[in-house]
């Protein structure tokens, strides 16, 4: 079975400091993993995805994530937070067969000026 656990429901950082949003996954197969971001009243926007190529994945807006199979983790990081990064972030896993996505509960990121 597939599932993701986002370890923090809320994260607060100061502008210019690093961001770490944690995600652990469970999958019976080699998973595909995604991070999506949702700004208020907007759709879910893809930040980055891992599909069994390079384990360090770079996404949009300076975000990156590292797939660590031994730790079953796919944490999202950014070296320096910007005010515009304040949003809800979702870690998502899909399985290799079928096409449904399994979402984490989301992490709300607040950026303090």
Partner 1 sequence: EPEVTQTPSHQVTQMGQEVILRCVPISNHLYFYWYRQILGQKVEFLVSFYNNEISEKSEIFDDQFSVERPDGSNFTLKIRSTKLEDSAMYFCASSLTGQKETQYFGPGTRLLVL
Give contact residues for partner 1 (rule: CB under 8 A). Answer: 32, 34, 36, 41-46, 49, 51, 90, 94, 96-106
- Whole-angstrom distance, CA of residue 91 vs CA of residue 33: 7
Q: How far is the CB of 11 from partner 1 (least distance, A)?
A: 18
DSSP state of 31: P
Nearer CB in complex with partner 1: 25/106 = 106
Nearer CB in complex with partner 1: 14/29 = 29
- Whole-angstrom distance, CA of residue 78 vs CA of residue 95: 26
Nearer CB in complex with partner 1: 32/73 = 32
Which of 43, 25, 46 has the alpha carbon at shortest distance from 34? Answer: 46
Q: How far is the CB of 14 from partner 1 (least distance, A)?
A: 27
Q: How far is the CB of 91 from partner 1 (least distance, A)?
A: 11
- Whole-angstrom distance, CA of residue 83 vs CA of residue 93: 27
């Amino acid at each position: 079975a597939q599932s993701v656990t986002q370890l923090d429901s809320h994260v607060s950082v100061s502008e210019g400091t690093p961001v770490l949003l944690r995600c652990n996954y469970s999958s019976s197969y080699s998973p595909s993993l995604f991070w999506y971001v949702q700004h208020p009243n907007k759709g879910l926007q893809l930040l980055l995805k891992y599909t069994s190529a390079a384990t360090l994945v770079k996404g949009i807006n300076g975000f990156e994530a590292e797939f660590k199979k031994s730790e079953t983790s796919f944490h999202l990081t950014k070296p320096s937070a910007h005010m515009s990064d304040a949003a809800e972030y979702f870690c998502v896993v899909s399985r290799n067969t079928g096409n449904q996505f399994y979402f984490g509960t989301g992490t709300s990121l607040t950026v303090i000026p």
